[in-house]
Amino acid sequence: MNVYSPDLHAAARNLGGEVVKGGILCPGPGHSAKDRSLSVKFDHKAPDGFVVHSFAGDDPIACKDYVRAKLGFPQWEPTDAPSDIMERIAERARGIHATRPATHPLDFNDAGPQGGQRRTYKGKPIVAEYIYRQADGTPYLRVNRLEPKGDFPQEHWTGSGWAWGKPKGPKVPYRLPEMLAAVHDTVFVCEGEKDADALAERGFVATTCSEGAGKWSPDLNEWFRGKTVFILADNDEAGADHARKAAESLAGIAATVRIVNLPGLPEKGDVSDWLAAGGDTAGLVELCGSFPIFTRSEAAARDYGDAAPEGCVAGAREDENAPTIRTAAELRRKEFAPIRYVVPGLIAEGCTLLAGRPKLGKSWLMLDVGLAVAAGRICLGETQCEQGDVLYLALEDNERRLQGRIDRVLGAFAPEWPAAFHYATEWPRANDGGIAAIRNWIAKAKNPRLVVVDVLAMFKPVRGDKETLYEADYNAIKGLQALAGEFNIAIVVVHHTRKSGAEHDPFEKVSGTLGLSGAADTTLVLDRDGNGATLYGRGRDVEEIEVAVKFDRDLCRWRILGKAEEVRRTDERAVILDTLKEADEPLSPSDLSAATGMPNLNVRQLLFKMAKAGEVVKTGRGRYAHPDNSQNTDNNDNKITNLDAYRAAKDGGDDA
Give the confidence band of 405 by pLDDT, cuts at 50, 70, 90: very high
Position 264 pLDDT exceeds 70 = yes
SS3 assignment, position 374: helix
State which H helix or E strand residue 141 sits in: strand 139-146
Query: Greater confidence, 269 or 148?
Result: 269
The CA dihedral of 543, 544, 549, 551, to the nearest 10 degrees, is: 70
What pLDDT score was predicted for residue 632? 53
Give the confidence band of 185 by pLDDT, cuts at 50, 70, 90: confident
Query: Greater confidence, 328 or 498?
Result: 328
What pLDDT score was predicted for residue 503? 61
Q: What is the mean pLDDT of residues 360-376?
A: 95
Highest mean pLDDT among 51-65, 193-207, 509-523, 615-629: 193-207
Q: What is the mean pLDDT of residues 216-245?
A: 89
State what percent of residues in the chain have pLDDT above 90.
28
What pLDDT score was predicted for residue 441? 92
Residue pair 85/29 in contact by the 8 Å Cβ criterion? no
Q: What is the mean pLDDT of residues 517-545?
A: 89
Position 173 pLDDT exceeds 70 = yes
Highest mean pLDDT among 15-19, 108-112, 395-399, 612-616: 395-399
Report the DSSP pairing between strands 448-454 and 389-394: parallel
Q: For residue 566, how many C-alpha atoms fall within 13 Å in the half-sphere facing its CB?
A: 5
Q: What is the mean pLDDT of residues 529-556?
A: 89
Position 556 pLDDT exceeds 90 = yes
Could you tell me which of 68, 72, 80 has the C-alpha nearest to residue 42? 68
What pLDDT score was predicted for residue 311? 40
What pLDDT score was predicted for residue 329? 84
Query: Looking at 71-75, 395-399, 462-466, 638-642, which range is the least confident one?
Result: 638-642
Residue pair 509/525 in contact by the 8 Å Cβ criterion? yes
Query: Looking at 89-93, 148-152, 352-356, which range is the least confident one?
Result: 89-93
What pLDDT score was predicted for residue 110? 36
CA distances from 373 to 376, 392, 530, 547 (A): 5, 11, 32, 21
Position 175 pLDDT exceeds 80 = yes
Give the confidence band of 4 by pLDDT, cuts at 50, 70, 90: very low
Give the confidence band of 413 by pLDDT, cuts at 50, 70, 90: low
Residue pair 233/239 in contact by the 8 Å Cβ criterion? yes
pLDDT in tens, 315-350: 344 454 567 788 888 788 777 777 889 999 999 999
Position 581 pLDDT exceeds 90 = no
> From CA 443, how far away is CA 4, in angstroms rounded?
28
pLDDT in tens, 430-483: 888 898 899 889 888 889 999 999 999 999 888 777 778 888 788 778 889 988
To the question of pTM greater than 0.85 for the whole model, the response is: no
Give the confidence band of 117 by pLDDT, cuts at 50, 70, 90: low
Query: Greater confidence, 561 or 304?
Result: 561
> From CA 90, how far away is CA 71, in angstroms rounded?
10
Residues whose CB is less than 8 angstroms from the CB of residue 319 and which lie 6 or more positions away in sequence, other chains included: none
For residue 391, the cross-strand partners are: 422, 451
pLDDT in tens, 53-108: 887 777 888 888 888 888 877 665 544 444 444 444 444 444 433 333 333 322 33
CB atoms within 10 A of CB 655: 9
State what percent of residues in the chain have pLDDT above 70.
80
Report the DSSP pairing between strands 38-42 and 50-54: antiparallel
What pLDDT score was predicted for residue 55? 77
What pLDDT score was predicted for residue 631? 61
Highest mean pLDDT among 29-43, 95-109, 243-257, 504-518: 243-257
